[in-house]
């Protein structure tokens, strides 16, 4: 297979940077990969595993030979590397990033005169976990990978990078930087704020004996899962995408006020319409591709409350080498039908587990 980019440089080797490195190595084993990360342990581990060829102690001349450099550091840090890359990289080198906010870095790129060789990027993939240790060579598979080109980006360069992204298993999607920031404000940034504020509301309203906390497992815990994300990272994202998030917050607050008014006036039809419309739209969302929020692969299973019940299920799954990420009894089943919730690392494992347990005549509910 021809290698579109013979030498690739990565600045930042965390979850996304590490997954990119692993994916490139899996699909293009002969590619020379050099990487820089502030955490030397990440570099040492990647080097020992053969994922990268060269570990750099800074963004230095080692990147001069790269035909592609991808900035995978925290959003605010990515811009700080651009002046050095301008002096180091050749005009033929394509520079990209993986940041979840695009307008800021595009302004920096324009100010430095790098528009012809920059294409912004944002893989719509992630995990509750972070760091190189959590990276994988299939994190990008079937995930949308948004590309934000500059006005001066040559069409052939954009086409080449789009094909490269697709060859790594991702789904390229072209947007302007403003459109990107508007979209992610609605489907990623606002949900994180809502989840955090909802958890904080329950915390503040809970009784001294914490009964709310006691029964908050199940549906509440699932819909607020993203509140467990990195506070530092989300502080940065919110500050960098302030205006689109503010617009979405205003629209959401108006929506809540409208719902409150409908409740106060006992407009049962309007409330029913809200649930029907939202249900229909949610059910129409595609399930074949990843979005900006990390997907959960879980099933619910009915079991009899008897000694060894969970152990039997674990043994059945282990017999087919299916790894369990998390398992537990659901005490509050207001939103779920099964007694036991089993979470997996991958979609294929989740599907196989459901099929296997059904063969053993367990009642399984898939989400």
Number of domains in the chain: 3
**Mean pLDDT over all residues of the chain?**
89
Taking the C-alpha atoms of residue 294 and residue 142, their distance in angstroms, rounded to an integer, is: 13
Higher pLDDT, 237 or 251: 251
Query: Over 90: is that where the pLDDT of 195 sits?
Result: yes
Asked whether residue 303 falls in the same domain as residue 275, the answer is: no
In the listed set 125, 145, 175, which residue is the last one of a domain according to the structure?
A: 175
pLDDT of amino acid 127: 64
For 91-122, the DSSP string reads TT-EEEE--S--HHHHHHHHHTT-GGGEEEEE
CATH no. for residue 60? 3.40.50.720
User: pLDDT for 140-175, tens place per residue?
Assistant: 888 899 999 999 999 999 999 999 999 999 999 999
Q: Is residue 287 part of a domain?
A: no
50 torsion bin: left (phi>0), alpha (psi -120 to 50), beta (else): left
pLDDT at position 256, please? 96
266 domain residue, yes or no = yes
Residues 41 and 171 in one domain: yes
CA distance 48 to 156: 36
Residues 6+ apart with CB under 8 A from 323: 344, 345, 349
Separation between Cα atoms, residue 25 and residue 73, nearest integer Å: 20
Answer whether residue 164 is part of any domain. Answer: yes
- Residue 190's domain is classified under what CATH number? 1.10.3660.10
| 245 domain-assigned | yes
Alpha-helical segments (H) within 122-215: 155-167, 177-184, 190-205, 211-215
Verify that 135 and 57 share a domain, yes or no.
Answer: yes
Closest C-alpha among 287, 299, 313 to residue 343: 299
Give the 3-state secondary structure of residue 55. strand
Residue 120 shares a structural domain with residue 264: no
Q: What is the reported pLDDT for 143? A: 87
Predicted local distance difference test score (pLDDT) of residue 23: 96
Of 175, 199, 214, the one marking the end of a domain is: 175
- The whole domain housing 119 covers 7-175
Q: Give the pLDDT confidence score for residue 270 in this predicted structure.
A: 94
pLDDT of residue 333 exceeding 80, the answer is no
Which of 259, 282, 305 is the endpoint of a domain? 282
């Amino acid at each position: 297979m021809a290698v579109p980019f013979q030498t690739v440089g990565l600045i930042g080797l965390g979850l996304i940077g590490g997954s990119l490195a692993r994916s490139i190595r899996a699909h293009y084993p002969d590619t020379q990969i050099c990487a820089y990360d502030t955490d030397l342990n990440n570099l040492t581990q990647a080097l020992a595993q053969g994922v990268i060829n060269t570990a750099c102690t800074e963004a230095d001349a080692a990147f001069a030979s790269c035909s592609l450099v991808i900035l995978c550091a925290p959003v605010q840090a990515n811009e700080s590397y651009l002046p050095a890359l301008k002096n180091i990289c050749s005009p033929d080198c394509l520079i990209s990033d993986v940041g979840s906010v695009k307008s800021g870095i595009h302004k920096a790129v324009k100010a430095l005169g790098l528009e012809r060789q920059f294409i912004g990027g944002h893989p719509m993939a992630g995990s509750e976990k972070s760091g190189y240790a959590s990276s994988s060579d299939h994190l990008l598979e079937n995930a949308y990978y948004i590309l934000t080109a500059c006005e001066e980006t040559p069409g052939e360069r954009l086409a080449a990078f789009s094909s490269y992204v697709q060859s790594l298993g991702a789904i390229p999607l072209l947007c302007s930087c403003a459109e990107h920031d508007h979209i992610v404000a609605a489907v990623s940034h606002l949900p994180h704020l809502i989840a955090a504020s909802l958890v904080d509301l329950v915390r503040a309203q809970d009784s001294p004996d914490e009964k709310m906390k006691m029964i908050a497992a199940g549906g509440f815990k699932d819909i607020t899962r993203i509140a467990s994300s990195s506070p530092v990272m989300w502080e940065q994202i919110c500050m960098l995408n302030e205006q689109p998030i503010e617009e979405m917050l205003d629209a959401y607050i108006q929506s809540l006020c409208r719902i409150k008014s409908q409740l106060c006036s006992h407009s049962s039809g309007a409330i029913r319409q809200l649930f029907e419309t939202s249900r229909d739209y949610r059910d129409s969302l595609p399930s074949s591709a990843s979005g900006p929020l990390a997907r959960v692969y879980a099933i619910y299973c009915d079991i009899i409350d008897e000694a060894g019940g969970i152990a039997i299920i674990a043994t059945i799954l282990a017999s087919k080498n299916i790894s369990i990420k998390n398992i537990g009894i659901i005490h509050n089943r207001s939103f779920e039908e099964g007694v036991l919730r089993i979470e997996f690392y991958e979609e294929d494992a989740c599907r196989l587990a459901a099929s296997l347990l059904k063969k053993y005549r367990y009642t399984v509910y898939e989400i």
